[in-house]
Amino acid sequence: MPLKQGLVQVYTGDGKGKTTAAMGLGLRAVGAGLSVYMIQFMKGRRYSEIDAIEKIKGFTVVQFGRDEFVSKKDPEKIDMDLARKGLDHAKKIIKDGKSDVVILDEINVALDYNLVSLEEVLQLVKGKPANMELILTGRYAPKGLMDIADLVTNVGEVKHPYQKGMQSRKGIDW
């Protein structure tokens, strides 16, 4: 049974857990019989959660990125091309309306790095089907996006093990 009313959610801020929160909502949605489609921008690495999600019927994840950091000052053409392909794919998925929940993971960072335009993303958000939940994640969410969102969560870092030199851990951080 599809959603009666879909909202726009933004998870942003400098703290850990924005993608994890979106995936958790996706798991909840699948458990309720809804379908979830997640598009990851600027990510091409094989994270542990992708391995788990691929085993869950009704939760699709596709990645448009490389397993390398993108330079904000001087992004490479391949990064711009992958972000463009990701946005075009998002437009197609949202327009076809077959998914109940669509997650645009790290779209806010792609916006901040000027890999995609705010105007196109705002148009995409405004054109989503009324019964589709749309979630946009990543640091640096622009004011214009937060203004039109129904829910904005700012995940703030208070303390992080990285500050003590601890490396990321498989199964916990990736």
What integer pLDDT is reported at residue 43 of this predicted model? 92
* Whole-prediction pTM: 0.94
Stretches in the chain below the pLDDT threshold 50: none
Strands 133-137 and 36-41: unpaired
Cβ of 79: how many Cβ atoms within 10 Å? 22
Q: DSSP label at 32? A: T
Domains along the chain?
12-157 (3.40.50.300)
At position 101, the amino acid (one-letter code) is: V
Cα gap 145→119, rounded to integer Å: 10
What integer pLDDT is reported at residue 2 of this predicted model? 79
Q: DSSP label at 143? A: H
Query: Cα 56 vs. chain centroid, distance in angstroms?
Result: 18
The angle subtended at Cα 16 by Cα 11 and Cα 22, nearest 5°, is 40
Is residue 78 within 8 A of residue 44, CB to CB? The reply is no
What integer pLDDT is reported at residue 1 of this predicted model? 67
